[in-house]
Amino acid sequence: MSAMLSNEQQAFLDHATTSFAVSDESLNTIVTRAHAELFRGLSTSQGSELLMKPTFIRPPLARPSSVSLGMSISATGSRIRITSITVDSNSTPLRTHTQVFTMQSTTQNVFDFAANCVREFVQHDSSLPVGVTIGVPCGALTEYARGLHACDVGRKLCAAFVRNHLNVHVTSVTHGAVSALVASRIQKATQVAAVFDGGVNAAYVEQLGQVCKLRVSEETKSSLVAIDTDIGNFGSRVLPVTMWDRRVDRESKCVGRVFEKLVGGHYMGEIVRNLIIDMVDRRLLFTTCNVQEISVPYSFHSAYMGPIIEDLEAVDAVFAAEFGIQCSPIECRIIRSLCSMVVERAARVAGAVLAAVVLKAKADKVVLSGTVFDANPRMLDETVREMQSRLPNGAKTEVVVQSPSDELFGAAVNAACI
């Protein structure tokens, strides 16, 4: 590519490549610091970046033939999925029916919409428990979440069910990572689950006695709980950030959450867009094109990046369809390079942080899921490779890629457990 680039274009790409590079030494430091922060979060609620919230969901399951509902609310609140499960005589949960609902109005209350969805789904008056899983880490209010805050969801949903005369009661509200962990333990006895969607989170299984910030009795110390790590908030003092990362953070409504901003689907595309706009402002890209559409914040979605990295022709297809821009061959190659460096950095950092969670959980099996990996299989492969490389010599950790529907299944299992 260098022979075809102008000196200014090559200089910009060289500077960006250097800025997004992460050394092995830095990655080892990230593993060490993340591992220490996981311990710190279990010890105190003050002074730790990580929430490390125990989720008290344990077996046994409910009585045979009982019916429970699982509800998944997307981070934007505009998409709700509901499933029902029954529990057989062997206490095995069996999925019976799933339905997807999409909110058509941007002004409708999320919780009244959820109540309407339940009414349409259930169509009878029996009392049912519902476990809820949301795409927002517990304790975090993110800018793309339309007012969804984990600690309020249960209360507001219950109020909406009462307003709409529904005989349904909320038993639990968890992040998707916790629900994914619950589902995977029913099926595969997994110790760690991580979800990479618009935001990022991980959950793992811990003995209650290790949660030092809680007072627990001797007889319950060996009980197992799911820990909602809120790992997206990690990294303010150790993760490598560039000028483009700092700009995205500064202009967001949710300052901080550094790890999430480096690897989350809501932000990676915006980092690339900022790189593109910097090149546009320097008259290094699209000098004869109308760049109004690409200048809109968050208009370049992370879902574009996987296809662009895999197929150079996808660059022109995306930019023509979404932004009305015809890319020259060299512009296509530049944009693919920008996407590649952001994804490579994200995969390496994600792998290092996941390695820390695996080490803390002493896990031999990990479940990964999320739209980031669905749209970018190469990032999934690189993340897993990086995670494995940061574990001690000889350590073998099985990685299972989970369907988003399993989080919904886990939410229904949560309801059946309580």
Q: Which of 81, 172, 75, 93 is nearest to 118 (CA)?
A: 81
pTM: 0.91
- How far apart CA 147 and CA 142 sit, in angstroms, is 8
Tokens 């600690």, residue? 151
- Contacts with 181 (C-beta within 8 Å, 6 or more apart), sequence order: 190, 192, 193, 203, 204, 205, 226, 367, 410
Q: How many residues does the chain have?
A: 418
User: How do beta strands 168-175 and 128-134 pair?
Assistant: parallel
Burial of 386 (0-12, 13-18, 19+ CB in 10 A): buried
- How far apart CA 271 and CA 273 sit, in angstroms, is 5
pLDDT tens, residue order, the chain (418 aa)? 445 899 999 999 999 999 999 999 999 999 999 999 999 999 987 888 998 988 876 554 545 557 889 999 887 778 899 999 887 777 677 777 899 999 887 667 889 999 999 999 987 777 899 999 887 654 444 444 545 555 578 888 999 999 999 999 998 888 889 989 988 887 677 899 999 998 899 999 999 889 988 888 887 888 888 999 999 999 988 999 999 999 999 999 888 899 999 999 999 999 999 999 999 999 999 999 999 999 999 999 999 999 999 999 999 999 999 999 999 999 999 999 999 999 999 999 999 999 999 999 999 999 999 999 999 999 999 999 999 999 988 677 999 998 878 888 888 888 877 6
Q: What six digits make up the tokens of 256?
A: 């901080």
Q: Return the pLDDT at 418.
A: 64
